[in-house]
Amino acid sequence: MNWTLPGLLLGAVMIALINAGVFQAGNVPSIVPRLVALISVIYIIPSVFAFPTAWFLSTGRTRLLKNSTIDIYKKKIVYHKAEKLVMSKPRYNVYSVTQLRSVDVRRGYYILHGSVTNETSGGSSSELRIPVAFDNMNLILEKSRYR
């Protein structure tokens, strides 16, 4: 969205300039209307389609994060991840992390290394990726032995 918003604003300015008659023949060199058309095709028109798409996707992700929760116990971390909304009710996957060995702090998420169990489907793995979107994320760092 940060890349497409300037394209929308530039498009609005170009429409205003065209309606004001700035690009009429004789007022500007002949290369300027061609340059305006090229910028419109390359940047402005894709921005018109990409901005609503990016906004819709980010809103959906935010809605899923609001429905997700983390419970931190003495020897276990339980992450209730809202995978998708079905009939405006979230469908959850429940992950539990025991024997937390380390936490990798990345931009926007933590990677927990330990014994991870998907309690919904019964699978297991050695790491879990949790977005940094919850209030008690500092407690996860305190529970890890090595950072």
Q: How confident is the model over 115-131, as pLDDT tens digits?
A: 898 888 888 888 888 88
Residue of 88 and 79 predicted with greater confidence: 79
Query: Quick one: which of 13, 16, 7 has its CA closest to 42?
Result: 7
- Please report, rounded to a whole number, the percentage of residues in the chain having pLDDT higher than 70: 91
Tokens coding 50? 């990409």
Helix ranges, 21-136 (H): 31-39, 45-67
Q: What is the pLDDT of residue 58?
A: 66
Q: What share of the chain is helix, strand, coil (3-state, %, to 5)?
A: 40, 35, 20
Note the pLDDT of residue 95.
92
Residue 82 contacts residue 64 (beta carbons within 8 Å)? yes
Per-residue pLDDT at 147:
45
The rounded radius of gyration (Å) of the Cα atoms in the chain is 24
Greatest Cα-to-Cα distance within the chain, rounded to the nearest angstrom? 77
Specify the DSSP class assigned to residue 68: -
Residue 40 in tokens = 């419109």
Residue-by-residue DSSP string for 84-101: EEETTEEEEEEEEEEEEE
**Single pTM value for the model:** 0.59
Sheet with 89-106, side-by-side order of all strands:
69-72, 76-86, 89-106, 109-118, 124-131
- Looking only at the bridges linking them, the beta strands covering 89-106 and 76-86 are antiparallel
State the pLDDT confidence band at 54, using cuts at 50, 70 and 90.
Answer: confident
